[in-house]
Structure 1
Amino acid sequence: MKLHLLENCMAGGYAQFGSIWKKGAVHDCRFRLINEKKEDVFVQSRITAYWPDGSIKWAAHTADSRAVGECAEIIPGGGGAPESRAKCTETKGGWRFCSPTLSLEIPKSGDVIFRDLKVNGRLRMKNAYLKLLLERHFHVAGLDTQIQYSGRGVLKSAVMEESGPLMWSFRLEGIHELTEIGEQKIPFILRLKLYHDTDRIDIQHTFLFDGDERTDFLKGIGIAATCPLSGETFDRHIRFGTDYGSFHEAASLMLVWDHKRPGPIYERQIRGLPLEKPCIQPCIQSCMQSYMQPYIQPYISSAEEFERLKDIAQNCPVWDHYELAQDSDMHFGIRKRTAGTDRCFLDALHGKRAPGVMAFGGSNGSILMGLKDFWQKYPSGLELQGLAADAAEAVIWIYSPSARAYDYRHYDHRAYAETCYEGFPEVGATPYGVANTNDCSIAFQDEIIPSEDDLNRFAHSVNDPPVYFGEPAYYHDLRAFGYWSLPSRQTQALAWIEEELDRAVDFYLKEVEARHWYGMYDYGDVMHTYDRFRHIWRYDIGGYAWQNTELMPTMWLWLAFLRSGRGEILKLAEAMTRHASDVDVYHLGKLKGLGTRHGVRHWGCSCKEIRIGMAGHYRFHYYLLCDRRFEDVFEDTKDADYSLLSMDPLRYVYGSGQSQLPTHARSGPDWAAMVSNWMTQWERGQDEQYLQKILTGMEDIKAAPLGLMSGPDFEYDPATGHLRYIGESATGGIHLQISLGGPQVWMELADLLGDEKWSELIAQYGRFYYLSPEEKREESRGLVGERVFLYPVMAAAMAAYGAAKLGDHGLALRTVQYLFRALLPDDCDTGFAVSTLADCGNRSVLSEIPWITTNFTSQWCLNAIMVLEFIRDAIPETLEEVRGLLADFPKEELFRTC
């Protein structure tokens, strides 16, 4: 399998990437990685999915991107594992990791996540730990009161997930302990990655909310470390990444009114060069070539001059405490103060978007720390307290305490199901069990402070780590993730479709920025429906606000990336997947495994359903980018069907006490989502109990009077996986059966199992959907009654599958008609055309698509991508021929205005 480095990524540091293999071709998890120079590159591999015959389907690989370069090839059947330069020894209390440059201890219990970190034998971090600030709100005697409590993460379990030879991964789980009030709140999952030949540490931090939203407000959460520093205060430095260049200062600035000051000390200090005599010559040797010549001789050449410099420093302000806070996606501020809490901060700098990196150090070297998606997931922060002390506390704030405490409450005490497209009459909003995941990195240097270029390179490696991807045709040929097409512009009509697919995704890429869809709990999601009168998205109108995976924008974006290889689409798909899997899904409590339907708040709607947490949204990310956080998500959702015992999705339709089985499920979206979870669990670990659940449900559907078209409401038993047919009733509309990932799951399942009968049911479903109402009633012997088959474009992929399998040219043409008519309600070909308005929506020039909904965009694009795979030949060559095909086609069935 050939791989290449994606655009805007830099080869530097370790990369993780996935590979897919033909069924039956690979059975051994040993691989060779060969770079473009034909050199073997050490690679660490593990299996992430199996084919039904036990052969390897997906594998995850770790390699040093500096050795991999721009292009490489991964080949099955490699030799033995490379000899590692690192060693990790398990002890009773944890693990001791030692590499040629880095050593540290990782405990299995206690309130630190690692301790005694040494680089080249020198202690650089005494310990690292997790911090929590919780703000409690009280209403007493007519007064509103807030009290802030601090907590520290305490480990409950620790396991080593990977054990080299290139990378070691540890999974630490625990909860924050608020000792002041004797409570434990906010569970966490932490992953540490260590490497055999570098001193870099990568940390993934996940926290879950388990508080009472009425009283518990998040004031701050982050990762902290105690870092010994040495040297005089004039050789203690700090540097923050900023919009342009960096902000750099020393604890004691040598810009003083003193004619006895030796030499141009201040200029040298601001260049990041040491002033202390023992450090002068080594630094001169390592500094940039352009700076070497003027400083061949030390400025402080005598003990007398050095003592004079120390005396000057003792009479200068000592800036001990620095903070950078990103309080919105459009502003950050840096402030500082001298030691102590009884004095003010000074504003040092204001900017727009910080890259989320800082470095600090002294005579014993420097430390670099960075947080990915820093400004995108505001309010975030970086803090250093104790720059002038023997040890400093450095904090990566995932949620900055400089911001207002986060309020998890709902926006009202009542629901608006009748007017605002919310779910059920009850409110049902609860944040209990939602999560948030963030990635950060730590690195070390010998210099007292990294150069601006070094810090910028570090920032790039944190925010845009190396990503290796295969050719789209390779994934397509192996049907990775089912059926989808490669782009083709061979005819005018095909070129028009591809143009519209590009315009759609480009519009959303720009909307994220234009509408400021950023924030810790919002970044990655997009909104549901546009308001063409207010010229904003309907952020405040119930089910029209945040999308929360409704109608599969996740799958649309991933397929758009797979067929194009565009890095900017990957970034959007990755952010949406991370957001949806954490924030839109419950990971604790009675709703575990379920997710929340679209709404004003991500956890606000009373509809809690399996479909939001289905693995089909997230397995792209896991198999392509190999992020083990999704293993947690898959574990959280694999048994989500048991949550239906307390959260029946059809409870308002069938009530209680009327069923033979304990709850209900629609064949789509509920059962289809369960199948996605079970299929992923089965292929990941060959767990036959989940395969059996799939087969049980399939047989029940095959036995129903209309096959896959039956129901789609069924009774359901989580213990057995059985579906019980209860007649023809489509709660919520028949379109929900096929617009929420069902077709994609069913088609991939048919191929995975080689089940011809199931494939036939899919084809017949697609054919049946496009029959006239009279034909439907006749063919079903009246069973479907007056059921309305809404939004035919949502069935286009199913119909195209049916047309291809059944060889039905008439069905193919009708599918093409529905696909084009949905986006061309008139005789124009504007499609996803953007309109511009002057001085509107708080913009000098506002770009908008007045009719846009993410529901329509996701479904049209997803169906178009699949239709092209099945019946590309049925599409007319010219747009004139398309218009002719649509001449007598009804316009009232268009979907885009819905």
Structure 2
Amino acid sequence: MNNRFDFSRRKFLKDSIVLAGTPLIIKNTPLDFASLYNPGLSAKLFWIEKGGGPAATGLTWGTPWPKGKLKRGSDFYLTDAVGEKKALQSWPLAYWPDGSLKWTGHAAAAGLSVNSDYTVVAGKTVPYQEEVVIKESAGSILINTGKITCAINKKGKVLIENISINNKPVATEGRLIVLVQDQPDDDDIEIINKQELQGSIDSVTVEQNGPLRAIVKITGTHIGQEVTLLPYVIRLYFYANSDEIRLLHTLIYDADEKKQFIKGVGISFDVPLNDELHNRHIRFVNSAHNGMFAEAVRGLTGLRRDPGKQIKEAQLNGKATVPVSQFPPEIAENLKYIPAFGDYTLFQGDSTGFSIKKRTASGYSWLASGRGERALGTVYLGTPQGGLAAGIRNFWQSFPAQLDIRDAATATGKINLWLWAPNAQAMDLRFYHNGMGQDTYELQREGLDITYEDYEPGFGTPHGVARTSEIVLKGLAATPTRDELLYIAHNIQEPARLICDHTYLEQLRVFGGNWTVEDRSVPPKAAIEQQLESYFEYYQQQTDFHNWYGYWNYGDFMHTYDQDRHTWRYDVGGFAWDNSELSSDLWIWYYYLKTQRSDVFRVAEAMTRHTGEVDVHHIGRFAPLGSRHNVMHWGDSAKQLRISTAANRRFYYYLTADERVGDLLREQVDAAKALNIIQPNRKLEGIRDKKQPDYTTNKIPASFGTDYGAIAAAWLTEWERTNDAGMKEKLVNSMVTIAAQPHGFFTGSGILHLDTGKFDITTSEALSVSHLNAVFGLTEIAEELISLIDVPGFTKAWLQYCRLYNAPPEEQQKELGQALSKLNLGQGHSRLTAYAAYYNQDSKLAARAWDEFYSGKAGIVPGQIQARKISGPYVLNPVEEDVAVSTNAVAEWGLAAIQCLAFAGKDIRPLIPYNNH
């Protein structure tokens, strides 16, 4: 290792934490905090995942606090089950309207026991026993966790110069690699030109600088011969007393999908190998039966001459053999005739199968070495004196993925971690049809009518979509035992994770008061809770039955089922990928909050990663809007705030303090500016033929439903994160001017001035209402806004909307001057009725909410999954199906069930009789 720095951990100065993407200057402090401090205030944590033992790496989570109890700058510590105090690194995540802390982020050093309960306590910080030490120079950053050191470059194409243990490198030359070619891998094309691009560094920022957790953010692009493609964002996470580095890899797609086909996306490390060939060890881990592929570069088993039990067992167990001079002579003299296999590849081509092959070197044949179903995605290369273990999280779920070992028979081996496998076909992200003549809005509406696809030339492009992946690098001072490597691999896939206990979250109402922890105390509630469980588990099954996996797909559900073909409508326009339609993200997150189940959390996490990255354009013409449901995630011409909405990401951000999701939330603060170019209603009859007003980036059309729900979610989250008075002012202005419309929310839409947050007040008395207005997060965000900001007119307007949407026609006529017609999703809107009942303490209205919920109007009649098994020649593979299930209906049923229980649970009555659906 090049020891360019001379420093002592004890000389480390505790610099202020630089929050990822959070302004360092808070613009307003409305309260005098002189006496605002409550030492002893505590929050219980819960192990949502336990891994296999003590947390090998450090942990990060978010903790909420009661309003008005803690000031900015409060200290915290951690206590275990026996009351022992442990140090925490803490920072603010969000503030209450009075400026007190609402959420704080916390990091703990490696080594917490998963067999202990933990509690965050407000109080004087405990002295640090371990520290992450950072030494920064003009060209590099050196980080010492106490277990490993890592040198990071600030420029060039080598991101990680080395990872070392006790001044001995176990990995060097960490580089990002992209392979690109000018043709797809099909279409019988004979000549394909390929080239390799390497990640080039544009900027390096220390986002957190310890003492227990450090984050280094690296941004750049991939550069080749006259080609610059695919911007990236890398975050490296380091924890005190940990030998692991967590690497969060975000790739933003900006290639020309018709001319540039990505053949491989990965990261490569060199691994120094200074031992005998028979003491160089290769490991791959299989998820099935905790299996493992374990070999040496030069094997000593199965030979015609037996080297003896001691030598063979040492090699099989990754230990150093006795010196060659002590080998049996017939072995020692002929070692040179035993082939040394220097190259290995594990290729996960789909979610159900992987293969392993090896060869001696380039230019020689590959040997088939093993097969399996789902690899855990962990590889090891090293010697008894140390090496590198590395793993890709959600490896088989995000196929095609690949792990390579190269040149292991030389002095410097190599590990390649491929997020997109070069052994697979190149990415082909071209649109899937030629438009079929839909070159006018009228023809596109006709197409929508038959396939539910909203097509428009030039809109079905992946330009600007992103994908975030997680990699763990672990420096080891010796080849791990097989059990140790299994433990490492399982911890990479399901890392130990602490999260605030959900009973505490419910008590503080930090995600609103529209959910409650699971309650089966009386039969009607038990029946609903059971149905919630059944639907979640049904979708777990469907994910596996129908292979909802893949680099660009993992984390999404399909939209609608095809009962004739016994499959989901993966190839039918707008019926294919769901893309957050009708708030499937919110359904899963609120169900997690109810149950605190780890499997629900993993589904919600994967959905947040997917819908926030793949379904949203982050750069380019459509940024930062999302794309409506389609055969291809980015294929629809409806680019909308309702898909990119911050409402879907807030849960994961606050629960985990994840910096990348923090980026996505901030991306949405000014997202509404894009509506001046792309109006969601531009194709509607009566609008498409009219000249549109002259909109600007600060004057845009916005509905009071899906648009405002997303705008308010972004502004609310930004206000919480920064306590920015200007952001609150825009929220208040928007609330006041919606309330001032002739019919409040029933006015439907208006012209929004983004610089002030004010809507123009219309003089029209026309009513406008859509069944979609409230079902993309507006319901949930409005409830939070009312609880945080006192704008009586807004509260009145929202309660009117909640009360009247499902009201009898005569009641609508009396209050609005006319009855509302063609309203849909009656069951889903029962939660609005329930909220109005709760707010006004109206038991009669609560009874109406339950009637609406049980009726199943445009939803699901209460009952359990009625799945039947289909097998034989009617399907490719056996499946279980319930033809009455659609993701729209289940998401709305789930949200209605959860919120009716929360708002009207005390008025629940026995279930009315129902038929199996």
TM over 0.5: yes
Written as runs of structure 1 = structure 2, the 5 A alignment for 1:459-498 is 459-482=489-512, 483-498=514-529
Indicate the residue corresponding to 1:819 in structure 2: 853
Contact 2:574 2:629 in 1 (8 A): yes
Q: What amino acid is the match of 1:820? A: Y
Query: Does residue 1:772 correspond to 2:818, yes or no?
Result: no
Match of 1:714 among 745, 750, 754: 750
Indicate the residue corresponding to 1:746 in structure 2: 782
Please give the per-residue CA displacement for 1:695-721, whole angstroms capped at 9, x wherever unaligned: 2221221110111222x1323343443
Contact 1:486 1:563 in 2 (8 A): yes
Contact 1:590 1:646 in 2 (8 A): no
Change beyond 3 A, Cα 1:778–1:659:
farther
Shift of 1:440: 1.0
Contact 2:347 2:355 in 1 (8 A): yes
Q: What amino acid is the match of 1:108? A: K
2:128 and 2:490 mapped to 1: Cα distance?
Answer: 29
Written as runs of structure 1 = structure 2, the 5 A alignment for 1:706-855 is 706-710=743-747, 712-724=748-760, 727=764, 734-782=770-818, 787-822=821-856, 830-839=863-872, 842=875, 846-855=879-888
Indicate the residue corresponding to 1:440 in structure 2: 471
Change beyond 3 A, Cα 1:725–1:212:
farther
Shift of 1:172: 0.5
Contact 1:235 1:276 in 2 (8 A): no
1:619 and 1:816 mapped to 2: Cα distance?
Answer: 29
2:392 and 2:849 mapped to 1: Cα distance?
Answer: 47
Match of 2:434 among 406, 413, 433: 413
Indicate the residue corresponding to 2:292 in structure 1: 246
Aligned length: 851
Shift of 1:831: 4.0
Contact 2:269 2:416 in 1 (8 A): yes
Change beyond 3 A, Cα 1:374–1:138:
closer
Shift of 1:184: 0.8
Shift of 1:694: 1.6
Shift of 1:506: 1.5
Written as runs of structure 1 = structure 2, the 5 A alignment for 1:21-170 is 21-27=65-71, 28-64=73-109, 66-69=111-114, 70-79=116-125, 82=128, 84-137=130-183, 145-170=191-216
Contact 2:64 2:104 in 1 (8 A): yes
Contact 1:12 1:64 in 2 (8 A): no
1:436 and 1:841 mapped to 2: Cα distance?
Answer: 35
Please give the per-residue CA displacement for 1:142-187, whole angstroms capped at 9, x wherever unaligned: 9664221101000111111111111111110000001x3x111011
Query: Does residue 1:228 correspond to 2:272, yes or no?
Result: yes
1:799 and 1:622 mapped to 2: Cα distance?
Answer: 29
Change beyond 3 A, Cα 1:309–1:691:
farther
Indicate the residue corresponding to 1:188 in structure 2: 232
> Quick check: 817-826 or 86-95, which moved more?
817-826
Written as runs of structure 1 = structure 2, the 5 A alignment for 1:518-667 is 518-653=549-684, 654-655=687-688, 657-659=691-693, 661-662=695-696, 663-667=700-704
Change beyond 3 A, Cα 1:138–1:7:
closer
Written as runs of structure 1 = structure 2, the 5 A alignment for 1:285-324 is 303=325, 305=327, 309=331, 311-324=333-346
Indicate the residue corresponding to 1:457 in structure 2: 487
Indicate the residue corresponding to 1:330 in structure 2: 352
Q: What amino acid is the match of 1:808? A: D
Indicate the residue corresponding to 1:863 in structure 2: 896
Contact 2:271 2:381 in 1 (8 A): no
1:659 and 1:574 mapped to 2: Cα distance?
Answer: 40
2:430 and 2:504 mapped to 1: Cα distance?
Answer: 47
2:233 and 2:133 mapped to 1: Cα distance?
Answer: 24
Q: What amino acid is the match of 1:466? A: A
Please give the per-residue CA displacement for 1:377-418, whole angstroms capped at 9, x wherever unaligned: 011111110111111121111111011111111111216323
Match of 1:6 among 48, 66, 69: 48
> Quick check: 7-16 or 207-216, which moved more?
7-16
1:138 and 1:62 mapped to 2: Cα distance?
Answer: 45
Q: Secondary structure at the match of 1:736?
A: coil
Match of 2:727 among 686, 690, 694: 690
2:417 and 2:188 mapped to 1: Cα distance?
Answer: 37
Indicate the residue corresponding to 1:705 in structure 2: 742
- Tell me, which stretches of 5 or more residues in structure 2 are unaligned? 1-42, 439-446
2:275 and 2:772 mapped to 1: Cα distance?
Answer: 66
Contact 1:374 1:380 in 2 (8 A): yes
Query: Does residue 1:431 correspond to 2:467, yes or no?
Result: no
Shift of 1:108: 1.6
Indicate the residue corresponding to 1:272 in structure 2: 318
2:266 and 2:128 mapped to 1: Cα distance?
Answer: 36
Q: Secondary structure at the match of 1:418?
A: helix
Change beyond 3 A, Cα 1:306–1:158:
farther
Please give the per-residue CA displacement for 1:294-347, whole angstroms capped at 9, x wherever unaligned: xxxxxx5xx37488655422111110111111000000011111122x222111
2:517 and 2:767 mapped to 1: Cα distance?
Answer: 34
Q: What amino acid is the match of 1:164? A: G
Tell me the percent identity.
29
Q: Secondary structure at the match of 2:111?
A: helix
Query: Does residue 1:20 correspond to 2:41, yes or no?
Result: no
Shift of 1:266: 3.5
2:218 and 2:721 mapped to 1: Cα distance?
Answer: 22
Shift of 1:689: 3.1
Indicate the residue corresponding to 2:393 in structure 1: 372
Q: Secondary structure at the match of 1:431?
A: coil
1:532 and 1:313 mapped to 2: Cα distance?
Answer: 63
Contact 1:137 1:144 in 2 (8 A): no
1:489 and 1:104 mapped to 2: Cα distance?
Answer: 51
Contact 1:32 1:78 in 2 (8 A): yes
Q: What amino acid is the match of 2:353? A: H
Contact 1:41 1:68 in 2 (8 A): no
> Quick check: 576-585 or 78-87, which moved more?
78-87
Please give the per-residue CA displacement for 1:651-702, whole angstroms capped at 9, x wherever unaligned: 2243564436543211110111011011111111223332232222212211
Q: What amino acid is the match of 1:317? A: P
After the TM superposition, which segments of 4 or more aligned residues of structure 1 sit over 4 Å from their partners?
138-144, 256-264, 304-310, 424-427, 725-731, 823-826
Indicate the residue corresponding to 2:8 in structure 1: none
Contact 1:2 1:73 in 2 (8 A): yes
Contact 2:732 2:789 in 1 (8 A): no
> Quick check: 628-637 or 843-852, which moved more?
843-852
Q: What amino acid is the match of 2:120? A: I
2:608 and 2:462 mapped to 1: Cα distance?
Answer: 19
Contact 2:342 2:409 in 1 (8 A): yes
Contact 2:184 2:261 in 1 (8 A): no
Please give the per-residue CA displacement for 1:204-255, whole angstroms capped at 9, x wherever unaligned: 1110100111112111111111111111111111011023320011111124
> Quick check: 370-379 or 750-759, which moved more?
750-759
2:360 and 2:207 mapped to 1: Cα distance?
Answer: 43
Shift of 1:45: 1.3
Change beyond 3 A, Cα 1:304–1:427:
closer
Shift of 1:86: 3.7
Indicate the residue corresponding to 1:283 in structure 2: none
Shift of 1:9: 3.6
> Quick check: 119-128 or 517-526, which moved more?
119-128
